[in-house]
Structure 1
Amino acid sequence: MAQTLYPRATVKKIVKAHSNRALSKNVDILIYLNYALFMQELLNEAAIQSKQAGERGVTARSIRRVSERTLRKYKG
């Protein structure tokens, strides 16, 4: 039996409760992929920011610096 990364039914219920719209069959997969892309870009931008600031690695401060800008890119 294949193990899923997240509970599909739970994600669909939460999204449906917040959107009050009909959802397509694989909307949870699209949401998960969008989340994965967001996290990847957030970490990439934070790595660039921390390198420019002369830090050794990615810190919470470097993530906070780029989070607002990255969130704006993904706002639908």
Structure 2
Amino acid sequence: MAQTLYPRGTVKKIVKAHARKPLSRNADILIFLNYALFMQDLIKEASIASKQAGERGISAKSVKKVREGCLRKFMG
């Protein structure tokens, strides 16, 4: 049996509970990939913001600063 990066059944249950609509067969995979791309972009933007602020590493402050912009990029 192949190991997955996330529990598919759990993701499907969560999405079904919120959407209250039927899901296509691989919708959970697309949701996970979109989440992974969002997190990658958020970390990249927070890293840039923290370097511009003269911080040594990524802080909660730098993540909060770029959060809104990243969310806007990934809204459907």
TM-score by length of 1: 0.92
Q: Which runs of 5+ in 1 are unaligned?
A: none
Amino acid at match of 2:6: Y
Please list every run of 5 or more consecutive structure 2 residues that lacks an aligned counterpart in the other structure.
none
Q: How does 1:19-30 map to 2 (within 5 A)?
A: 19-30=19-30
Mapped partners of 1:10, 1:55: distance in 2: 37
Instruction: Give deviations 1:20-57, integer Å, cap 9, x for gaps.
Output: 11111001100000000000000000011011111111
Equivalence for 2:4: 4
What count of residue pairs does the alignment treat as equivalent?
A: 76
Q: CA deviation at 1:67?
A: 0.7
Give the match for residue 31 of structure 2.
31
Question: Residues 1-76 of structure 1: matches in 2 within 5 Å?
Answer: 1-76=1-76
CA RMSD after TM alignment: 1.0
Q: Which moved more, 1:40-49 or 1:12-21?
A: 12-21
Shift, 1:12, TM fit: 0.8
Moved more, 22-31 or 1-10: 1-10
